Structure 1
Amino acid sequence: MHQSGPAGLSGLCRVTDHLYLSNGRAANDSSQVTRYKITCIVNVTETKSSCPPPPGVEYIHIPVTDSPVSPLSDHFEEVADKIQLTAEGGGRTLVHCNAGVSRSAALCMAYLMKHRGVTLLEAHKWVKTCRPMVRPNNGFWKQLNRYEMELRGCNSVRMVSSSMGEIPDIYEEEARNMMPL
C-alpha cells in the first residue's frame, strides 16, 4: 500500500497515486485540479458544480444526498471501475462531496476493496490515514458491508447497536480510545 500523509484539510488528499479525495471547495479550485494533474472529477453531491472543470478534465455528477437511506451502493461498481480505467489510461481521479467525509470517502473505500483487494476495515484505515476526518454515515457503512460480503464472502467490520442506532464497530472502538483513562 502506498500512502502519503494528510494534505491540508481543505486540499486534495492523495489516496493512491491516481486517486484523490476532497471537499467541494477544493474540487472547484482549478489551480489544485491542474497542479495534481486530475483528469476526471467525480462529484457526489446533490447539485452539479457551478464552476466548469478545467479543459480536458472529464466531469461525472452522481446526485446522491448524504442520507443513510440514499442508495450510494448503486454507484460503487461504476465509480470503482471508472477510477481504475482512468488510472490504466495514465489519468488521475478526484472524488468529492460537500465535505469530503461521507459519500466520497465511501466511494473511495469501495474502489480500494474492489481494485486493491483490501478488506473494508483496511480500506477505512487507508482512507482515514489520508483524510483523518472521514466518517461515512451509518447507512453507507451498511451498504459497504453488503458490498464487502459480495466481493469477499465475509465482513471485516460489524454493525453494532448503539444509542445512535446501528454503527460500525470501529466507531465504538474509536470512541473508547478517546475516553480519558
Structure 2
Amino acid sequence: MSYLSVDCDKAKRILETLTQTRAYHRCLPGYSVGDPEGMNREIAGVDCDEVYNNIFIGDVCAAKNKSYLRRVGITHVLNAAEGSSFGMVNTYTKYYEGTGIKYMGIRLMDLSVADIASHFYPVADFIEAALNEGGKVLVHCLMGISRSATFVLAFLMIKRGMSACEAMAGVRRRRNVHPNDGFIRSLATLDNKLARKNYLY
C-alpha cells in the first residue's frame, strides 16, 4: 500500500470524526454563563472559543477587538490569514503595539491547494512557547473555522501527541470548525508521519 493511499484513508477517518462530532454552543470566553453578551455572539460582536487549555480559536472580530483580548487575557496572537486582500486579516505586528501581545502572522489563503503544512512546526513552536510562558494564545483567521483550526489541530498532534482524530474530536466539541479538504489531507499526512516516527522510536 502506498503512502498516498494511507493518507487518503486517514483523511477519510478525520472527515468522519469531524462530521460525527457535535459542536455545542458555549458561553463566550471572558463572560459568565447567563450574561446576554456571553450567550449571544452577535451582541458581543466577537466569535471565540477556548478549544484547549489557554488556546483560543476566533474570528477577525475577536482578533481586532483589543478590549476583548484584554478581558480574556490573551498574550499571544497567531494570525493564520495575514494580508490585506479578500479573505485575509490585516492586523500585522504594528496593530498590537502597546498591548504587550506577541504576534505571529502567516500569509495563507483558505484554499485546498495552499501549503499549510510548511507552517505546522513553526506555528506549533510559537504556541508551545506561549503556553510555557504561562500565556494565552488566540489563533485566528477570517472566520475561525479552517486555517486557524488546522494550525491548532497540528499543534495538538505535534506537541501533545494526539492523533488527528483525537485532536479533531476535542476541538470540534468546543467549536464548529471545518478545515477545507486540502487541509484535512495535510493533517492526514502529518498524522501518518508522526505515527511512523513514533513507531521507529
Q: Say yes or no: TM over 0.5.
A: yes
> Is residue 137 from structure 1 mapped to residue 180 from structure 2 by the alignment?
yes
1:46-65 matched pairs, under 5 angstroms: 46-47=82-83, 48-49=90-91, 52-53=95-96, 55-65=99-109
Contact 1:7/1:131 (8 A) holds in 2: no
User: What's the offset of the Cα at 1:5?
Assistant: 6.9
CA distance in 1, matches of 2:54, 2:126: 12
- Normalising by structure 2, we get a TM-score of 0.69
1:19-98 matched pairs, under 5 angstroms: 19-47=55-83, 48-49=90-91, 52-53=95-96, 55-98=99-142
CA distance in 2, matches of 1:86, 1:46: 19
Contact 2:52/2:171 (8 A) holds in 1: no
1:8-23 matched pairs, under 5 angstroms: 8=28, 10-23=46-59
Unpaired stretches in structure 1, ≥5 consecutive residues:
155-181
CA distance in 1, matches of 2:182, 2:158: 19
In the alignment, residue 23 of structure 1 is paired with which amino acid? D
- Structure number having the greater helix percentage: 2
**Which position in structure 1 is the counterpart of 2:163?**
119
Contact 2:82/2:91 (8 A) holds in 1: no
CA distance in 1, matches of 2:82, 2:105: 9
Among 20, 26, 29, the residue aligned to 1:6: 26
**Which position in structure 1 is the counterpart of 2:150?**
106
Contact 1:23/1:98 (8 A) holds in 2: yes
**Which position in structure 2 is the counterpart of 1:170?**
none
**RMSD (Å), alpha carbons:** 2.0
CA distance in 1, matches of 2:76, 2:129: 11
Contact 1:12/1:32 (8 A) holds in 2: no
Say which is worse superposed, 94-103 or 46-55, in terms of deviation. Answer: 46-55
CA distance in 1, matches of 2:68, 2:27: 12
Per-residue CA distance 1:59-79 (angstroms, 9 max, x = gap) = 111010000010011111111
Report 1 or 2 for greater relative contact order, CA contacts < 8 Å, sequence distance ≥ 6: 2
Which structure has the bigger radius of gyration? 2
Runs of 4+ in structure 1 over 4 Å off: none
Contact 1:7/1:130 (8 A) holds in 2: no
